[in-house]
Structure 1
Amino acid sequence: MKVRITCVVCLRRGVYRLVRLAVQFGADARLIDVLQELAKDCRYARKPWQRPPGKYDPKCGARFEDVEAATRPAEDVPP
């Protein structure tokens, strides 16, 4: 099984094998921690000690493409 990561800001893309991510980060790793580690070299990523980006500052837009697509409601379903 593969996991796709995309960025909506800089258009970077990556595909990772889930088994390799589990070995590298541990089976109990939180998704947000894995994502931050994989996107740590993004020019828009902030370090924990840096101030958060302002309203108009670009932010790292890295996200798990498949997870987000699975949690999005279908467009034809009424609210």
Structure 2
Amino acid sequence: MGSLRDVLPGRVYVDCSSCKRSGRYSVASLRERFGPDMSTLDILRTLTASCRYQRPPGSPPARKYEHLCLAAITLPPPARPTTPVPPGVPFTIEVWKETGGCVEAQLAVIYPIAMARVAFEAACELWPKHEVTLRDRCRIVARRERPEETVAVPAITAGSAATR
């Protein structure tokens, strides 16, 4: 665990399931009280020092039926980096089942139309027997129809026609 300096502003929760104690502390008040360089593990030990099930560091392990302090510290969640989203509406490339009727896979969600058209052409080459669509929300921008299956018809040769 890191120090209080690394913890984002917010609330810190300390809960012990053995003695049913719980506490809520703001990160700012903990920094004022203990300093920014104190580790979060030391803060947990300090805040739960009065727990009757707390064992000092270096003590022998607890026996089978002996209670232990099960205090846990919950820190504020880390800030998620926001991924930049281009302006506009994304285009989706979908491959339909060979039998038709429903989408088999949504291959890509791409923002610029130029890149979406290139990806559409690549999808058409990779799935030659499937219907492929390029969509802007519900509007179909480009569509490659499923190729019709050709039925093999026996060719009539000149020799076979003469025998009739």
Q: Verify same fold: TM over 0.5.
A: yes
Aligned residue pairs, count: 68
Distance 1:51 1:20 in 2: 34
- Structure 1 unmatched ranges of 5 or more: 71-79
Q: Greater shift after overlay, 23-32 or 40-49?
A: 40-49
Greater share of strand: 2
4+ aligned runs moved over 3 Å, structure 1: 48-52
Is it true that 1:62 corresponds to 2:71 in the alignment? yes
- 1:4 equivalent in structure 2: 13
Greater share of helix: 1
Is it true that 1:17 corresponds to 2:34 in the alignment? no
TM-score (norm 2): 0.37
- 1:32 equivalent in structure 2: 41
Distance 1:27 1:55 in 2: 38
Relative contact order higher in (CA < 8 Å, ≥ 6 apart): 1
Q: Which amino acid aligns with 1:12?
A: R
Identity %: 34
- 1:53 equivalent in structure 2: 62
Q: Which amino acid aligns with 2:18?
A: V
Q: Which amino acid aligns with 1:13?
A: S
Q: Which amino acid aligns with 2:40?
A: L
TM-score (norm 1): 0.71
Instruction: Supply the RMSD in Å over aligned alpha carbons.
Output: 1.9
Aligned to 2:72, the other structure's residue is in SS state strand
Q: Which amino acid aligns with 1:23?
A: E
Per-residue deviation, 1:50: 4.5
Aligned to 2:37, the other structure's residue is in SS state coil
Per-residue deviation, 1:46: 1.6
Per-residue deviation, 1:65: 3.1
Provide, for residues 56-75 of structure 1, a one-character-per-residue CA deviation record: whole Å limited to 9, x for no partner. Answer: 311111111346xx6xxxxx
